[in-house]
Amino acid sequence: MARQATVELAPGVWRVPLVRDFVNGFILRDADGQVTLIDMGLKSSGPKVMAALSSIGSGPSDVTRLLLTHAHVDHAGGAAHVAKVTGQEFGVHTDDAEYARTGQSPPQQATTRLGKLMQRLSPPATFDPVPVSEELTDGQVLPVAGGLRVIHTPGHSPGHAAYFHESSGVLITGDSIFNVLGLRWPVKSFCTDFRMTQQTAHRLTELQYDVAAFTHGPEIRDAPREHIRKFLAKNPAR
């Protein structure tokens, strides 16, 4: 059986499985048909984003806003393709904007001698430069489908952000927390500052939402905030 191109999270909100459930993008559609796309996956995923858009009856001309949760290759890799097809430029938190523009992932944490050596021998992954026209800030509410709030949760990258769509009750967590075989932290070596990632993830418990949608892993629909609270209580910042 062919996998679904999209998974509906709420009316007008879809998850886009780009590498099965392991890497996800998202679609939000306004009542007037305007579409916002969030995260474009790896370089090979750009066409998958556009196919997902077609599967819900929308097309490139309906896209009026493009967003990234952060400037890592598994989220921004397909961005240049989507920008070209839609004719739109991207919004990303200001602290990741220059990384996106240059196609250079932010520096990764290296806490051991081996890690530091590997970082020198293997610099952060690159991707095709992304056209960025909007630098976002914490708490900013974007005019997307009734309002989409930017939640700055730095650590995984300097400008990492979650997005909260209050009217549908959907929280897009970004890489603050993974849901791969259960809730877990992102890989430490992929973070700019892993301890900060752990600290800022607590912002996700300050919101009221019905669905927690992860960029890595399937969504949680049953008491998602409580699941995240329990995870944070069991896995405190160290």
Q: Residue 223: inside a domain, yes or no?
A: yes
73 lies in some domain: yes
Identify whether 102 is part of a domain. yes
> Mean pLDDT throughout 54-74?
97
- Domain-located, residue 31: yes
Q: Domain containing 83: what range?
A: 7-234
Predicted structure pTM score: 0.94
Token pair 């393709």 is found at: 81
CA dihedral sign of residues 229, 211, 180, 123: negative
What is residue 118's three-state secondary structure?
Answer: helix
As a whole number of angstroms, the distance between CA 196 and CA 152 comes to: 12
Within 25-145, where are the H helices? 46-55, 73-76, 79-86, 94-102, 113-121
Q: How confident is the model over 187-206, as pLDDT tens digits?
A: 998 899 999 999 999 999 99
Residue 2 lies in a domain: no
Question: pLDDT digit string (tens) for 130-160?
Answer: 999 999 999 999 999 889 999 999 999 999 9
- Classify residue 96 as left (phi > 0), alpha (psi -120 to 50) or beta: alpha
Q: How many domains does the chain have?
A: 1
Residue 200 maps to a domain? yes
Span 21-31, mean pLDDT? 97
Task: Residue 175: give its domain's CATH number.
Answer: 3.60.15.10
In a domain, 1, yes or no: no
Contacts of 238 (CB under 8 A, 6+ apart): 195, 198
